[in-house]
A and B are shown apart, each in its own frame.
Chain A
Amino acid sequence: MPMKLLDCDTLIPEREQHVYIKEAGEDTTQFLPISNAATIPGTLSERGCAFCGAKLVIGGVLKDTIQLIHGPFGCAYDTWHTKRYPSDNDNFQLKYAWSTNVKEKNVVFGAEKLLKLAINEVFDAMPAIKRMFIYTTCSTALIGDDPKAVAKAVIAERPDVDIFVVECPGFAGVSQSKGHHVLNMGWIHEKVGQVEPKITSPYTINFIGDYNIQGDTDVLQRYWHKLGIQVIAHFTGNATYDECRGMHRAQLNVVNCARSAGYIANELKKKYGIPRLDIDSWGFSYMATGLRKVGDYFGIQDKVEELIEEEEDKWKPKLDWYKERLKGKKMAIWTGGPRLWHWTRAVEDDLGVQVVAMASKFGHQEDFEKVIARGREGTVYIDDGNELEFFEVIEMVKPDVIFTGPRVGELVKKLHIPYVNGHAYHNGPYMGFEGFVNLARDFYNAVNSPLWALAGQNIQEGL
């Protein structure tokens, strides 16, 4: 079947090139949705902005760093607390939102003085913290503020601090994806190589594209620790600013989220010759494969097999309990991009469910190549889906559960369809062996909860 023009898109026929239904015998050289392209006027996109991609996804995860948002307070508030990435230092990064609180007068007269004042105020207020990210936003980029010059001046006055400036206002790209790109490239070119990490193991990696969502990093870190592997930097789950400045000393880049952080892995290969190993950290079979690959790279296969056996003994019976009860359920995955291809085969193989629809907010064509190769025939694949398309696809495929973010989740709830938070999780972590049992449990609880049906009842009818 060629690309699909949904009924709701009759007035925006360009959307046909963003929706695909896979049929037998087709491959991605015939049909591949357009993606990472500007949202078509008239479609109500669910995307986030480029600034959000830099701050909320990557930078804001760092546990020892002030995240100063140079713009109106809304930009700081809207990228604060909506994703749960804890840390082992009492969640410093989740407790505060920092903003220069730009007002109309600053837009007229310039906001650089305000920025310098704010930088000094926050370093004075938090004397134990010596690291800072500054983000430009739409308004401060449009008025032409030069935050790098301001940061340089502050560093000259306060030599014990270090500041990284992310110049990625919301309008800089078509989605969050641009923010990932700008932050990755800025970091590798400006900060990596400045700190020499202490090497404590013959096996060193960077674990890239994991943001410790509800403790994902903790699960993976336990595995690396058991294998005797030193993680120079998690990029950026539970990581410090300076750990990420030492990424050039790892022997291997192990990449989970290739969309948000594949860039830095590519650059580390080009600049420092560190190979890039892509793995899937979700799902039993994929997780085991990923660990085996790392084991093969370092020649520590025995340790890896021991770890896998230990984990499977502990978690496989639990997973199988859920698999028995979830077999045949229909699932939709409407998330950012990579989780479509990370999850589709994993949930089908490990849980026996069918993934019937997948939508990506900011995936590129590379992500659609992966997901269409892994996904089922008959499944609907959508780039930058809009609300009306979601209504129509729900009618078409009738999913039992939808894994998506809070924005689309609110829509789904109103239709009384079980929804699980596919971005920040309901009750994670979801990575690793134990994580996939958590995912299965949230799936099971969602499809068996009586609340969805009860919410659809009109209680006034019984009065």
Chain B
Amino acid sequence: MADKAESLVTFIQERCLWQFVSRAPDREENIDGVLTLVGILLTGGVPKLQTPMDRLHFANANHLVTEIKTEFPWITQLGKEELFAVVTGAIKRIHGLTVKNSKNGELHQPLY
């Protein structure tokens, strides 16, 4: 599962800008918001879109799910628990890359 999560992470790093916004809290909000929805959509769930931010995360997640299914056909073969493990692994790894272990010195600067 770790290999699968890693290949997903590489793809997301190449394609998606929402993980690289200026400050750590905004990155965390986007990573959790978008990838949680990716997990829901991949398992056929129906997301609740109540706020503008919910809709934003959906906008970032929906086409990503289509791309992931095309790029990684194996993802549709995974069971719910395996899929959960892959998505959770990807979330953790992207947090590590772009927030926790990032060398970006501006991430925690409170002023934009």
User: Could you tell me which A residues sit within 8 Å of B by CB distance?
Assistant: 27-29, 31-32, 36, 181, 185, 251-252, 258, 262-263, 266-267, 273-280, 289, 292-294, 296-297, 345, 364-366, 369-370, 373-374
Contacts A369-B98, A374-B14 given: A262-B59 contact, CB under 8 Å? no
The answer on a CB contact under 8 Å between A366 and B17 is no
Residue interface bits B43-70, CB-to-A below 8 A is 1, else 0: 0000000001101101110110001000
CA distance A181 to B104 in the complex (A): 18
The answer on a CB contact under 8 Å between A27 and B22 is no
CB within 8 Å of A: which of B87-112?
Answer: 96-98, 101-106, 112
Q: B105: which A residues are within 8 A, CB to CB?
A: 365
Contacts A289-B63, A296-B59 given: A275-B53 contact, CB under 8 Å? yes
The answer on a CB contact under 8 Å between A266 and B97 is no
The answer on a CB contact under 8 Å between B104 and A365 is yes
The answer on a CB contact under 8 Å between A278 and B55 is no
Q: A263: which B residues are within 8 A, CB to CB?
A: 22, 112
Contacts A28-B102, A365-B106 given: A262-B21 contact, CB under 8 Å? yes
CA distance A132 to B103 in the complex (A): 41
Given A289-B15, A345-B15: 6 more A-B contacts, CB < 8 Å: A258-B22, A274-B52, A275-B52, A277-B60, A369-B98, A373-B14
Q: A185: which B residues are within 8 A, CB to CB?
A: 112
Chain B at the A interface: mostly helix, strand, loop or mixed? helix
Contacts A32-B103, A277-B56, A297-B55 given: A366-B20 contact, CB under 8 Å? yes
- Chain B residue at minimal CB-CB distance from A33: B103
- Chain A residue at minimal CB-CB distance from B96: A29
What are 29 contact pairs spanning A and B, CB under 8 A?
A27-B97, A28-B97, A36-B106, A185-B112, A252-B56, A258-B22, A262-B22, A263-B22, A266-B21, A266-B23, A267-B112, A274-B52, A275-B56, A276-B56, A289-B15, A292-B63, A293-B63, A294-B59, A296-B59, A296-B62, A297-B59, A345-B14, A366-B20, A366-B21, A366-B22, A369-B98, A369-B104, A373-B20, A374-B14
CA distance A289 to B62 in the complex (A): 10
Q: A278: which B residues are within 8 A, CB to CB?
A: 17-18, 21
CB within 8 Å of A: which of B7-23?
Answer: 13-15, 17-18, 20-23
Contacts A275-B52, A278-B18, A345-B14 given: A364-B106 contact, CB under 8 Å? yes
- Chain B residue at minimal CB-CB distance from A368: B104
Q: Does B26 have its Cβ within 8 Å of any Cβ on chain A?
A: yes
- Chain A residue at minimal CB-CB distance from B12: A373
The answer on a CB contact under 8 Å between A297 and B56 is yes
Q: B101: which A residues are within 8 A, CB to CB?
A: 29
Q: B55: which A residues are within 8 A, CB to CB?
A: 275, 296-297
CA distance A185 to B13 in the complex (A): 29
- Chain A residue at minimal CB-CB distance from B103: A32
CA distance A330 to B15 in the complex (A): 22
Contacts A27-B97, A289-B63, A296-B63 given: A266-B26 contact, CB under 8 Å? yes
CA distance A296 to B104 in the complex (A): 31
Q: Which 8 pairs between the two chains have the least Cβ-Cβ distance?
A: A275-B56, A278-B17, A373-B13, A29-B101, A297-B59, A32-B103, A365-B104, A296-B59
Q: A36: which B residues are within 8 A, CB to CB?
A: 106
The answer on a CB contact under 8 Å between B59 and A366 is no
* Among A28, A273, A279, A370, contact of B52 (Cβ-Cβ < 8 Å): A273
Most chain A CB within a 10 A radius of its CB, from B22, B23, B58, B112 = B112
CA distance A27 to B21 in the complex (A): 18
